């Protein structure tokens, strides 16, 4: 399996171990890494049976103003931007992701904000026999999960996970005994 990490992440694939298909013919990626996984699969000369996209960075519903403001905030105070980004990534869970933190670059942020998913290429992969799976948290604070669901539905099997955010971790459940 070939795996691509998300923006400001490194080594986080274990967060998705319950869904990851460990196979020489699987390509997977999380968030910004989903873009890289898709690009790799689109140009790969090797057999890819399954493409797994975990919370794919997809900002087709966002305005240019939103994208500019994200870039400006990052340029003005990178540490504050990354801190807020990672907090939104974890929501609604309380999972500690410190060990996966990597400083992202301005270029990576620009690429993920400006990336336009190619519907024709998604259709082409599907027609070539590559099974595409997309995993989305219903409570995602990074991407518009319902927009992403509608976008990928014609090309992929989409798993819409209730009570989960961008890293697909759920809200901790507290059981109260009377």
pLDDT attached to residue 170: 77
Domain for residue 177, yes or no? Answer: no
Residue 136: beta bridge partners? 160
Q: Considering the domain boundaries, does residue 168 fall inside one? A: no
- The answer as to whether 166 is a domain residue is no
Torsion 48-16-22-135 (CA) sign: negative
Q: Is 81 inside a domain boundary?
A: yes
Tell me the CATH number at 127.
3.40.50.1820
- Express each pLDDT in 126-137 by its tens digit: 999 999 999 999
Positions in the chain whose pLDDT score sits under 50:
173-178
Domain carrying residue 106: 2-161
Total number of domains in the chain: 1
At 88-140, the pLDDT tens digits run 999 999 899 999 999 999 999 999 999 999 999 999 999 999 999 999 999 99
Distance CA(95)–CA(146), nearest Å, equals 24
Residue 144 covered by a domain: yes
Res 171: pLDDT: 62
Helix (H) or strand (E) holding 120: helix 119-127
**pTM for this predicted structure:** 0.94
């Amino acid at each position: 399996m070939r795996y691509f990490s998300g923006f400001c992440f490194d080594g986080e694939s274990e967060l998705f171990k319950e869904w990851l298909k460990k196979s020489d013919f699987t390509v997977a990626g999380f968030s910004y890494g989903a873009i890289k996984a898709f690009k790799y699969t689109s140009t790969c000369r090797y057999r890819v049976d399954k493409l797994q996209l975990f919370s794919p960075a997809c900002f087709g519903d966002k305005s240019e103003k939103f994208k500019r403001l994200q870039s400006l905030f990052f340029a003005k105070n990178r540490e504050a931007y990354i801190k807020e980004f990672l907090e939104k990534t974890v929501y609604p869970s309380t999972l500690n992701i410190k060990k996966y933190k990597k400083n992202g670059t301005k270029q990576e942020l620009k690429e993920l904000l400006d990336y336009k998913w190619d519907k024709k290429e998604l259709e082409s992969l599907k027609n070539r026999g590559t099974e595409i799976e997309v995993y989305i948290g219903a409570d995602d604070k990074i991407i518009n999960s319902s927009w992403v669901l509608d976008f990928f539905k014609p090309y992929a099997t989409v798993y819409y996970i209730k009570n989960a955010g961008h890293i697909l971790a759920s809200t901790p459940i507290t059981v109260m005994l009377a």
